[in-house]
Amino acid sequence: MIQKLKGTRDILPEEIKKWQYIEEIAKSTFEKYGYEEIRVPVIEKSELFQRGVGEDTDVVQKEMYIFDDKGGRSVALRPEGTAGVVRSYIENGMSSMPSPIKLWYAMPMYRYENVQKGRQREFNQIGVELLGSGSYLADVEMIEMINTFLEKLNIKDIELKINSIGCKKCRSEYMEALKDYIRPNLDKYCDVCKNRFEKNPMRIIDCKEENCKALNQNAPKSVDYLCDECKNHFENLKKMLEKQNISYSIDTSIVRGLDYYTKTVFEFVSKIDGLTVVGGGRYDGLVEELGGEKTPAIGFATGVERLIDVFDKNNPDFDKSNKLQLFVAYIGEEANLYSSKLVSNLRKKGIYVEKDIMERSLNAQFKYANKKNAKYIVTIGENEINTGKAELKEMETGETKEIDLSDIEDILKKQI
């Protein structure tokens, strides 16, 4: 038997309702803030990610699915959504449309990772990109929107952490200070950190190795090296978050793994397992880097698989709310027709209801209803058709009550 590739997953029918629900909440929430959906190709020129995400990042260097196509072009499966969306923004002339441009997406991403909890090779992101506003107000609105999204999903076990990594100007001074701090102990750092020292020392701050974490304890912080503009931006952001009662903490170790970030970076971290569920930040230089006009921008993405992990812990009853409301069993040909019409009507009214389509015996119909965990069952025979009355049985409690079949829609709707 051919099995699926390591790090990929099938999303089976029993789970898909949750995916659809989360995507619906994302869509309805983001639309209220003026976002429109965009879909960009899975496959792009590899140069897009090399230039966009950064040649020296793990994502590009180690994790990208990259190959030559039959025409000899170097192409890659997208490891993230921002670079492709920005390419599309530039290529489709969106800068001439009223600013800011607000786009959202739900798309699969590909990274050749060491597969472990929360790290797959094919995973799904729901993300948004806001292009054209450099104001802290855009940062606040985005963070507030993520909070609304998480609240609507009843997700509580998650906390917001923010940091500012400054702009190109102030970062170079910070990088020098960081290198000066690390240099005397460089030989004590892990090999990954040693390799990052010259090209990407900021990522050393983000290392999860206990030894490196201890060495980093007194490392200089980017927030202490911000230029006036970046400092003002960060101060305004913090003040406005407080005014809007949005809780956050400052975590100076958040530097993010992709090179395009500037100024504000943020993560929503699961309190259950410490995994980052939502990650984002400003990328004021990316549009220009990819050949467009200088355009400030900010965005985020959440890994849907990680989001679902927290969602499950916070919504243990979600599956129950999606179960089969009613099974209509029947005895005899006339009742078959009657119940087919009844089921069809109820479905048109938005109720999830099933009846037998396997020509099974009454007993086998009951067994099936049981296996499908139907909430209620009603049995239609000659008597029920003549009187218009039937017994509605609640499967969990075994309780029965006589109802008028004409009232069944109202009775079920009250239960939803």
Residues of this chain that interact with ligand HAM (CB under 6 A) are 80-82, 111, 113, 118-120, 123, 125, 127, 129, 257-258, 276-281, 283, 299-303, 305-306
Angle between helices 408-415 and 333-348 (to 10 degrees): 50
Q: C-beta of 250: minimal distance to ligand HAM in Å? A: 18
Please tell me the distance from the alpha carbon of residue 187 to that of residue 106, in angstroms, as a whole number: 43
Residues 305, 19 contacting (CB under 8 angstroms): no
Measured from the CB atom, is 51 or 355 closer to ligand HAM? 51
Measured from the CB atom, is 116 or 363 closer to ligand HAM? 116
Residue in the block written with tokens 């020509």: 359
Q: C-beta of 405: minimal distance to ligand HAM in Å? A: 49
What phi and psi, each to the nearest 5 degrees, are found at residue 119? -130, 105
Q: C-beta of 189: minimal distance to ligand HAM in Å? A: 23
Q: C-beta of 83: minimal distance to ligand HAM in Å? A: 8
Q: C-beta of 307: minimal distance to ligand HAM in Å? A: 7
Q: C-beta of 176: minimal distance to ligand HAM in Å? A: 26
Measured from the CB atom, is 50 or 379 closer to ligand HAM? 50
DSSP tag of 136: H
Measured from the CB atom, is 79 or 220 closer to ligand HAM? 79
Give the pairing of strands 262-270 and 158-164.
Answer: antiparallel
Q: How many CB atoms lie within 10 A of CB 376?
A: 22
Measured CA to CA in angstroms, residue 74 lies from 27, 84, 152, 223, 258 at distances of: 34, 16, 42, 39, 21
Measured from the CB atom, is 39 or 323 closer to ligand HAM? 39
The answer for residues whose C-beta is within 8 angstroms of residue 376's C-beta and 6 or more apart is: 325, 326, 327, 392, 393, 394, 395, 412, 415
Measured from the CB atom, is 49 or 338 closer to ligand HAM? 49
